[in-house]
Amino acid sequence: MLSDAVERIDAVRFNEEMGNQTTVKEFFLLGYTNVLELQILHFVVFLSIYLAALVGNFLLILTVVQNESLHSPMYFFLANLSLSDACYISATVPKSMEISMTNSKLISFSGCSIQLFLVVTCAGAELTFLTVMAYDRYVAICHPLQYAAVMNWNACIQMAAASWISSLINAAMHTANTFRLHFCTSKVKQYFCDIPQLLMLSCTDATASVMVLLIETVVVCSFCFFYILASYGLIFSAVFKMQSAQARAKAFSTCIPHLAVFCLFLSTGVFSYLRPKSLSSPLVDPLAAVLYTILPPLLNPVIYSLRNKEIQAAMQKMSKNLFGFHLII
């Protein structure tokens, strides 16, 4: 948690004064249990969740690609969101499954840095695409006559590229900022390499790293949150003014899934990083991490499939053409 990392600074300064610095070349990740039966259960559960998330997200991407009726900006960004979800869960869950089966909690220094880079990249891409999708819905509903001109394919490709590139740059900055430190211990109290947990292992002054993380997180998340909030305030105002009940239903069918996905991502992230210390414990912390690293990639395609009639129809059509049967959705 970020608050724990901030409190760690004074202890770090003491260690620096005492010259207590070591060079860590590998880290040990947290395992959920040492009981063989529970390790097998953990592997089976995580494997099931992982496969379900991959199938759901890649099925959504394939549906968008295969159906010309979905070749629009909204579904283009949805496909990018699904790609980031698939990468997001792939950055953490396979390593956790390996720990369960081999009982080897070791991850190399370079492996930890790569994992951290991928997690931050995918989380950043998730947030930026959710923000871009809110802008897309705002233009489509509040300015429908200008939609084709504003959300043209050049603009969409540029926004998608900017989302990915900015996420990569942000992840590179935080990864470099974290791993420039010296670490006193190698035991990460998390099932993957996470910035707050790594900062707590530092035996050099991590003040600058913590401040950069706090400021960047607050500024970016606040901007995205209030932008999406303002966008939906204008969207719902426009929707309620529509005369046609069918038009209102169609607008809600495209907005509600996006809003639900955003709330899921925001609530799990806030609970994981900004919850009070009274809710923190060796059991709660890793479970909280599961919420924001596994639940959004798993549930996002489900939310869109259940609430979006166009996605459902396209999946049914694709299933019939490719496999000869209709999907049950």
Q: What is the pLDDT of residues 135-161, one digit of tens each?
A: 999 999 999 999 999 999 999 999 999
3-state helix, strand, coil in the chain (%, to 5): 80, 5, 20
Is residue 329 assigned to a domain? Answer: no
Which residues neighbour 143 within 8 Å (Cβ) at sequence distance 6 or greater?
Answer: 150
Q: What is the CATH number of the domain that holds 24?
A: 1.20.1070.10
pLDDT tens figures, 252-275: 888 888 888 888 888 888 777 777
Q: Could you tell me the pTM of the whole model? A: 0.86
Instruction: Tell me the pLDDT tens digit for each residue of 109-128.
Output: 999 999 999 999 999 999 99
pLDDT score at 6: 46
In a domain, 42, yes or no: yes
Mean pLDDT, the chain, rounded, equals: 84
Is residue 253 within 8 A of residue 74, CB to CB? The reply is no
Is residue 194 in some structural domain? yes
- Residue 183 main-chain phi, psi, to 5 deg: -115, 135
Contact 254, 144 (CB under 8 A): no
The answer to whether position 328 is within a domain reads no
Give me the pLDDT at residue 313, please.
Answer: 80
Q: Is residue 28 situated within a structural domain? A: yes
Question: Rounded to 5 degrees, what are φ and ψ at 92?
Answer: -120, -45
User: What's the rounded Cα separation, in Å, for the pair 329 and 317?
Assistant: 12
Q: How many distinct structural domains can be found in the chain?
A: 1
Q: Which residues of 31-69 are buried (b: 16+ CB within 10 A; e: fewer)?
A: bbeeeeeebeebbeebeebbebbbebbebbbbbbeebee
Residue 189 lies in a domain: yes
With respect to residue 92, please indicate whether it lies within any of the assigned structural domains: yes
- The pLDDT tens digits for 50-82 are 999 999 999 999 999 988 888 999 999 999 999
Confidence band of 276 (pLDDT split at 50, 70, 90) = confident
Query: 87 is in which domain, residue-wise?
Result: 2-323
Q: Check residue 325 and give its pLDDT.
A: 60
What are the structure tokens assigned to 165, written together?
Answer: 């590139």
